[in-house]
Structure 1
Amino acid sequence: MKNDLRESKDKKLIQLIIDDRYRIWRHAILLVGFLPVIFCTDEILEYSGPYRYYRLLCVYGSIMAMCYVNMNVLVPRIFFKGRYVRYVVVLFLLVSVFVVLMANLLSAFSTSGRLPPHLVMPDRKMGFYEGTVILVPIILVTTMIKLFQRWMRDNERITELKSITLTMELNELRNQINPHFLFNMLNGIRALLHSDPDKADMVIMKLSEFLRYQLYENNEMKTLLRSEINFLSNFLDLEKLRRDNLTVNVESLAAATVLNHIFLPPNLFTTFVENAVKHSVSISEAASYIRVSIAVDANRLYFSCINSTDPGYIPSDEKNSGLGLANIKRRLELLYGANYTLEITSSGNEYNVKLTIPL
């Protein structure tokens, strides 16, 4: 909660600095903020009477004029174009001109006869060089403000671009996974049409349920964990209809209330289960198995998929078998960065996938 409040305050502060809607507020803060700082300097407080305020007006007006010339002319037209040496030279010239202008204005007031004699020549008088050295860093503060504004705006653009690119790549990867899954399903149906037409009809009916899921739920950014588990269960049941020697088991170790409240990107587990189906085929038609387990603990989800393997079996589409796995690895990287773990181990007779993702 505290982190959210801090992030909200930081975001509001950043918006105040860079958003055009708050331009008037920024100018007001700059104008009002500089006034007491200048007023409290010895160059103002060592005088009294009307001359103090006349001096304040001259110094304050000159500094504000230099700040706005710097922010609106020098920085965008010289500094941001990479002409840094020219910028420094022009900045010193600008400050020098205004130092001379301030000196003439103050001198005109003192020689007009309106300044008391004891204040004409104060004990401490700022010279041309000292005034220039002091004023240049003050003006450079506005350069830092403009630099910070530009950096934040560029950072926002980069973040937005990354978000758009991420969304496009995720959609592209997901759209590649769906046809890959359907391709394998249709291959299975084609084999059944010759060996067992009745089972082929049943498989086609089941396939219609999958297509319904793909159309109405899979296109969302998030789907319920229960829906994803049901999808995997139906998929494995469908495969079991095609293979009499296959044993499947989908186990959920989370409570029903948890399954109905957890949302996650769709088709995160489909590729692993699909590979388990494809590689669990036995040449000798011996008993094979696929075990899927999903558990939730401490805001993390643990997925496990284990299948039997036959070392002598080579899938017909072995050349393209890495497409789905490469895509799901890339999706996991885009979605979770370094906050997920994926372990894939293979022995002579078993293939094991373990995935852990944050919720």
Structure 2
Amino acid sequence: MKYDKVETQNTKIIRFIVDKEYRLLRHAILFLSLLIIIFFSDWLSQYSGAYMYYRMLCVFSALITMFYVNMYVLVPRFFFKGQYIFYIVLLFLLVMIGTIVMSTLLNLYLDPANQHNKENYKASFEGLVILPPFILVTTMIKLFQRWIRDNESIAELKNITLTMELNELRNQINPHFLFNMLNGIKALVRTDQEKAATVIMRLSEFLRYQLYENNEETTLLKSEIDFLTNFLELEKIRRDNLLIAITSNIKSQITNNVFLPPNLFTIFVENAVKHSVNISGYESYIRINIEVKDDALYFECVNSKDQDYEPLLSDKKSGGLGLVNIKRRLELLYGENHTLDIESTKFEYSVKLTIPL
């Protein structure tokens, strides 16, 4: 998904409309403004005493109910989800019901002697015409709040993505990693030329993904799976006692047509590599499973742990920062539509991620 850069001026008015800390004040202003409008309206001036305040309270209650039903039910559940026609129909239905209830209370209970007055029917009809534009003002306010927050989230997402990309270039494509790989290839050329050729091909695919596809906003699911495979296979060359298993139920036509943001899984796999080291000499393992079901992608990464192994302090810091960044990135990309479960036991560490497609 590509976004155009939108600058929003950080003025006090915008912050007042958007920020949660001013929520109570915004609602208080809405209540007060509505009360003032009703109090100084022409139709109310013909009444006096407690009777006037009863009518005022009745109208205020009906209007404020319609405003809040629109702002917190109709707008988020229908308007923001693109169901515009259904939203308009429900809005007019809300106004109609509110007007009928308000007229019934005003005329039948508060003024039964004039309940059949033609002026009352005229006022009800005027209410049906006048109220929708007023209620739509609250829709515009909610839409403006959504627009500002979305643009702020996009800006924050770009900053986090840039930070992650810089960290990945520094941590993944580093001279130490390449030096070890090239030394391993050099030894394989003398002993197993066929295996050396395979390693060179995997290393080239690994570097190609990092240098080119990683810079795109989205990448093919197939490319992401191939990258994880190459990364783990290269790591396996360095560790003879590492068992790797990557399974998937996804057909090739799906992996070649599904796009997702690059490096969503890299941090989890990197942590699995770091923490699966077994200094006791036993075989360690990393198991990855990727599935697509019901328009959702399921990613699971499980690795063994050695309770006697303590990662380097630099690995702990980079891994912790990476997890914080990827959690925030997932939150900005998918909001509440994704789930991330991380569990750590004495001998195993697991990550389960679900994202919509």
Alignment TM-score, normalising by the size of structure 1: 0.57
Q: CA deviation at 1:331?
A: 2.8
The one of 293, 299, 302 aligned to 2:298: 302
- Aligned residue for 1:92? 42
- Aligned residue for 2:58? none
Alignment TM-score, normalising by the size of structure 2: 0.57
CA distance in 2, matches of 1:84, 1:296: 51
Please state if 1:165 is matched with 2:152: yes
CA distance in 1, matches of 2:218, 2:305: 33
- Aligned residue for 1:258? 254
Question: Contact 1:340 / 1:357 at 8 angstroms: preserved in 2?
Answer: yes
- Specify the SS of the correspondent of 1:218: helix
CA distance in 2, matches of 1:304, 1:80: 48
The one of 341, 349, 352 aligned to 2:350: 352
Indicate how the Cα distance of structure 1 residues 142 and 81 shifts in structure 2: closer, same or farther if over 3 A, else same: farther
Q: Which runs of 5+ in 1 are unaligned?
A: 1-78, 97-126
Q: Which amino acid aligns with 1:168?
A: A
Matches within 5 A, 1:12-27: none
Q: CA deviation at 1:271?
A: 1.1
Q: CA deviation at 1:94?
A: 11
Indicate how the Cα distance of structure 1 residues 227 and 191 shifts in structure 2: closer, same or farther if over 3 A, else same: closer
Q: CA deviation at 1:149?
A: 2.7
Q: CA deviation at 1:211?
A: 5.2
More displaced 10-residue stretch of structure 1: 246-255 or 203-212: 203-212
Identity score, percent: 45
The one of 316, 321, 324 aligned to 2:322: 324
CA distance in 1, matches of 2:163, 2:153: 15
Q: CA deviation at 1:275?
A: 0.5
CA distance in 1, matches of 2:181, 2:217: 38
More displaced 10-residue stretch of structure 1: 81-90 or 271-280: 81-90
- Aligned residue for 1:180? 167
The one of 242, 255, 269 aligned to 1:273: 269
Indicate how the Cα distance of structure 1 residues 321 and 204 shifts in structure 2: closer, same or farther if over 3 A, else same: farther
Q: CA deviation at 1:274?
A: 0.8
CA distance in 1, matches of 2:349, 2:278: 14
Runs of 4+ that moved beyond 6 A? 93-96, 200-208
Question: Contact 1:192 / 1:200 at 8 angstroms: preserved in 2?
Answer: no
The one of 139, 142, 148 aligned to 1:152: 139
Question: Contact 1:91 / 1:136 at 8 angstroms: preserved in 2?
Answer: no
- Specify the SS of the correspondent of 1:249: strand
Q: CA deviation at 1:226?
A: 0.3
Indicate how the Cα distance of structure 1 residues 210 and 327 shifts in structure 2: closer, same or farther if over 3 A, else same: same
Indicate how the Cα distance of structure 1 residues 91 and 134 shifts in structure 2: closer, same or farther if over 3 A, else same: farther
CA distance in 2, matches of 1:289, 1:274: 13
Indicate how the Cα distance of structure 1 residues 237 and 302 shifts in structure 2: closer, same or farther if over 3 A, else same: same
CA distance in 2, matches of 1:81, 1:341: 38
Indicate how the Cα distance of structure 1 residues 343 and 225 shifts in structure 2: closer, same or farther if over 3 A, else same: same
What is the root-mean-square deviation in Å for CA atoms of aligned residues? 3.7
